[in-house]
Structure 1
């Protein structure tokens, strides 16, 4: 049972019990102070009426009093009990006699002595031939006071005042923190993300305090998202401005030089335009991943997928004799969004090609570790300073920006790779190799799809069917 529910549950019962106790105390006080007089006259009238009727029955039909319980209410609960007791000590309704009634009706009984204050409950005691008539009432019954109109109103007022007072306190206890949270949400809606609302609920340990802490976590995350978005916009502006500035300078030079020299500048402008077009494509791809609703999973042969990527990468690295080798089981199949995973692996492999020296080998290896399929891409490049490994997958981050080396590319490729893998429930890690190089490892959960990892080869038709 949670804290907040427990407090409300207990508070409701406290209201009920406390109201009942206070009403009883007020009733006793009213009676003891004589503010409300006893209603014995009414009760005595009922007992006298039953007594007279019994006496009349005994005169007309001695021994037959069976009609008496039908003509009179002998049992009125704590308010009044009318006992008709024969010489054998049996009540006409076969009720068990209270101790003080038994002491009067049966003087020789083993009931023992009765304290005087208990005898005040007996308001009528008369004898007829063969019977005793005893009127008995509960000395402290609220129902006796409730029979008086002025007492009923007073007791009702006491109950209302007590219940309303406690209910107001309980309502304030619940609503006050909610009002603070509402005010905080309005501040957040106006753009103020610096407030910390949980500090006002340090003494509370219930769900309201948990909600306040979650609210602070939410505002911190929203602020971080907005900050990241603003940083992304600045980075995009910078990345777009750089090639545009270079093209503007080249056009200026081309207009000032002879036609032959201008051709070289035009070729460089075309290269800058190609780079700019690639950057825009990468930015759009990265933005689309944030709005992707679902994955288009197909059953994929992992080795074939990796070999296609490796062949494409070797073509790009052929000028410097860079090779890409694949090590994977030929009979491994997995449900994946082939386009996204291919994009992720391609971006990592291209990054490895970019920083690997000539005549080097990039190794792609697939393996199963615990509950994950791992795909590692290892190069023999210069590596990355340990302090910057965690930043490799941030959009527009380039190692050259911090290490002082010359960096090329947009810095979006690894961010796209990380996003694609994250959409599959996986992750990417980066670590330096010894003596040199970098290895990036993709972890994909084996729980993907209906048959995550299948070791039976499929036909060509089934390999392209969605699960």
Structure 2
């Protein structure tokens, strides 16, 4: 249990331990190395360089220049260095340890002899006014805190420790995010309708919560694939099976008309109307099943959208006249897309017929071609009616199967809720997009985005 938790916990804990250990080891090593350098020639050379720098600063800017130089040196050097005058005071007014004062007293009588041997850590820095300062390194006052506070000293150990810890964190992040990214992509494919996605095989030999999640995801995807497959098959089979009894009903209706001698004409007309509605519903169900199954997806050709819309308007105008409205094509221009011409015509026709159904009398259903400003090489077909619109909460669900607005359910003109669903499947089948929006001055607009065909 909680295998992933312990991996994350131990990895971060180990990283912190390694980082801290490297810094402490480097600082301690430097500290120990520095404390043993009192009699080493390299340390004397370094102090000699400091002496020359201090003498140059004093000569150029006097006591203020000497103070500024010593302050800068103290901020970068791990070894405290004092400049002590004849009165035993530090130039920066720092407290001088007693053992340094005692050491200076013991060596005072040997100062002249030490100066004759050349620069040393007791050599004097002289000012123009005659005052002189002895440079005294304090090896015993080197502390770990002082080492850690000096960027020049601690920079390299910190950089090495940071590099090692960054590498560990990078590997851990990669180990955690790769399978999660694979799950994210698979989820997007599932949401887009591709129920064949599986992620467990890509997990390799992982044995943690992410691998368990991948297994659960695959089980869910497999179950969804079976359920939706069975649903599509049921719709397809039921639609096919219903065609035969409907055909027999139509034959029986014709015989009933002959034998009734006009005595039940009203009732028979009603039966005929319902048979036609059932026939239309079955046709839509079959079309929806074909689209969801991907039938005819490969039968694509270059379709001129202006010609398609002009032909569609000619057919839709007859239905519009019976509703007391008209259909107009605005801003038409030549543009070609790659699609199945029959499916694309049917999809846009469903949208236009839906608009005709709900637009107000004496208004127009407007079909507008627009260049897409957001996505290059795309066009937008806008179909707008002047009807009551749709409640905002219904807009995201408008293209779901059997989804109808409540007002449409209560009217005789309400359809079966499949027209826009069929249009949505057909448009998305070729990489397009279809959305709905209410217009500020009333009415509903359906926006169909299609990818232009390459020249």
Q: TM-score, normalised by structure 2?
A: 0.46
The structure with more helix, counted as a fraction of residues:
2
